[in-house]
Copies of this chain bind each other. A is one copy, B any other.
Amino acid sequence: MARIGFIGLGNMGAPMVKNLLKAGHELAVFDVSKKAMDKVVPDGASPSSSAKQCAQGAEFVISMLPAGQHVYDLYLGKNKLMEIISEHKNALVIDCSTIEADVAQKVAKFAKGLKVGFVDCPVSGGVGGAVSGNLAFMVGGTKIDYNRVKPVLECMGKNIFYAGKSGAGQIAKACNNMLLGIVMAGTSEVLNMGMRNGMDPLVLSEIIKKSTGQNWAVEVYNPVPGIMKNVPSANSYKGGFQVDLMLKDLGLAMELCKNSLTPAPLGSQALSLYALHKNKGFGKLDFSSIFELYAENRTTK
């Protein structure tokens, strides 16, 4: 079992740490919030007083942070964390944050200069997946490093994908989540269309599930309240994957499109819809609440 330093104990990071501990790994953890660290101490994690202390002597350093700037500052910033990490021979950084592909590539290059391994390794599956150990990981980096991190990641998830060279993990995640944003909005759109024309959304969902419109949303994450249990639509769209996070991911996808001059008519349409929805105050709801944007409000002004 390995000595792991884990930095960033938010809604995702904390349950990931617990699953690593369950698998027998030794974990030093750090978060700017002491409270966040306290939550994983009962499970056996050692709280650190700084990112430096957390990373010192670790074979793997895992980070799970909100944005590219945080990752860049953590590893390349003034605390010189990457140099501390490089003191451990064969140290390997696993960044699980969802960030810009080009930032990931810059950090990877910097790590390489110090002979530290680095994989960009964003996750899919949300808080539910993090808790149940069913996350998907999309790994960008060398094949050798992929093979080293795979057993570690398998403590937290089932599907560990090798996406390709440095940055490919982030690119794959952006592609998948842009498609998810399109499909969730599209599924909401057609279910609402069926309902407006008198169809039972449960019947329509069952038909689509077995037809060419089949997709993950209709299969396991139906956006219409009352169709499925144990999904956000059954719980006033609480929990799950927030509209704000979908907007973040669609923004990362648009960044990729802009840099590569790639047209994204449906992706940008999806972004507009989630932005209109957030605009009216729904940023903290689960992203399947986009169904509500389509639903008629009978209270007329």
A residues with a Cβ closer than 8 A to B are 101, 124-125, 136, 138, 159, 161-165, 167-168, 171-172, 174-180, 182-183, 185-187, 189-194, 196-200, 203-204, 206-208, 210-216, 219, 221, 247, 251, 253-254, 256-273, 275-276, 278-285, 293-301
A179 touches B190 (CB 8 A): yes
Given contacts A171-B197, A172-B207, A193-B262, contact A297 B275 (CB under 8 A): no
Instruction: Return chain B residues, CB-CB under 8 Å to A247.
Output: 261
Copies in the complex: 4
A176 touches B197 (CB 8 A): no
Q: A164-B203, A172-B199, A197-B256 are in contact. List 20 more A-B contacts (CB 8 A).
A: A171-B194, A172-B203, A176-B190, A176-B212, A182-B182, A182-B186, A186-B267, A189-B263, A189-B264, A193-B262, A196-B261, A214-B216, A215-B215, A261-B275, A261-B278, A263-B272, A276-B276, A280-B297, A281-B301, A284-B301
In the complex, what distance in Å separates the CA atom of A272 from the CA atom of B189? 11
B266 touches A175 (CB 8 A): no
In the complex, what distance in Å separates the CA atom of A212 from the CA atom of B287? 13
**Which of B180, B215, B265, B282 sits near A189, CB closer than 8 Å?**
B265
Which 8 pairs of residues, A with B, have the shortest CB-CB distance?
A: A179-B213, A281-B300, A268-B268, A263-B275, A215-B215, A265-B272, A182-B186, A196-B260
Distance in Å: Cβ of A87 to nearest Cβ of chain B: 33
B271 touches A268 (CB 8 A): yes
B216 touches A199 (CB 8 A): no
A136 touches B210 (CB 8 A): yes
Instruction: Return chain B residues, CB-CB under 8 Å to A207.
Output: 136, 138, 161, 163, 172, 176
Instruction: Return chain B residues, CB-CB under 8 Å to A177.
Output: 212-213
Instruction: Return chain B residues, CB-CB under 8 Å to A257.
Output: 193, 275
Instruction: Closest B residue to A247 by CB, please name it.
Output: B261
Distance in Å: Cβ of A271 to nearest Cβ of chain B: 7
B265 touches A285 (CB 8 A): no
B164 touches A262 (CB 8 A): no
